[in-house]
Amino acid sequence: MPRVRTWMPSWLIAPLLVACSEPAGPRFVDGDASVAADTPAAACTASTQCDDGVACTRDICVVGGVCEHVPDGPMCMPAMRCTRAADCNDNVACTRDTCLVDGTCGHTVQNDMCPAGQTCDTTRGCSSGATPGMCRTEADCRDAFDCTVDTCGADGRCASIAQNARCSAGQVCRVGMGCISERSCSADTDCDDRMRCNGAERCVEFGCVAGTAVNCDDMDPCTTDTCAESGASMCAHAMVASCMGGGNPRSGVYSLNPGVMYTCDSLLGTRVVEINMSAVQITVTATGITVTGAPATMTGGPVMSGMFSASGTIAGTCAEVYTLTGRFTDDRHFSGTFGTMYTGLDCFFTNCVTNMFPVMGTLAL
């Protein structure tokens, strides 16, 4: 469940806190967890020593061995009623502020709004941990590696202690790197496991680091994609049996999803090509396939096992070549690629370039 925080104007917090706290406890001014000058701060070595007996405060031991008592919870701070999300702005950019049905404010953490490697905190915003010299508790120092013990030192700086026992056999824990191979190396070649599909291993300061596995996914639902450890081609794409036949494709108008949109101009800014294609007319016969509706009429040989290929050219000093290739998955659907290519001396005076647009076609009935 999202953490729900309530907001109150600072001028209202102090009286409520005073009413809630015990006479001997700390006083709060304008919502700050500051201890009154006439109330000496308790010395501590752990947060468990800082209990002030007030139910609505969070008691923590911070740098310097000082207890702090931070207002926490609705018991001493009644919820501010809201009528719209704007009433709930907590000034933290990575939280989604909402006015709930009961009239209280909700603040939902949105980690995807933070830069890579950082997370959202409802009080500090996006952070990858405390900046050296800025930590107050151990929670401020947590890093992304499970094999380290992260602490906040007496000087307010984070320290991470490697714990090899938390790594798998044959690995060691390194601060800032996590669990890595304990094998020594002096060059990347020392780390090569002679397996190409799991990526290229690297030699770093403390040993070998595994590579990133090869991704052979061609985004085609009609192929099974695998990585081969040997052979000229690393990736193999085997046809799925259910896509092989293609049935007997019908002639007609096929809508394209997505449609194809492309423009290019001369260096003087004159429009050379403008394509806005959401459908094509396909005619299938025993002797070949014809595609119209593109800038050039495209023709090709007969459809074989669902596979087809058609091309057409607009001649000129900058010739335009258009292609449509693909596979009929049944008698009224195809998956393919629409291609554009421009050749000739005059093409150097344009920004027209070769493109490949993936398309899915559906026969309009």
pLDDT per residue rounded down to tens, the chain (365 residues): 444 334 444 444 444 444 444 444 444 433 443 343 344 455 787 778 888 877 777 777 877 777 877 766 544 544 456 777 778 888 878 887 877 766 778 777 777 777 765 677 776 677 665 444 467 777 778 777 888 888 887 777 788 888 888 888 877 787 777 787 666 677 888 888 888 898 888 887 667 777 888 999 877 766 788 999 888 888 988 766 655 555 678 899 999 988 999 999 999 889 999 999 999 999 999 899 999 999 999 999 998 888 899 999 999 999 999 999 998 888 888 889 999 999 998 999 999 999 999 999 999 87
- Cβ proximity of 82 and 66 under 8 Å: no
Distance CA 135, CA 121 (A): 14
Distance CA 300, CA 283 (A): 11
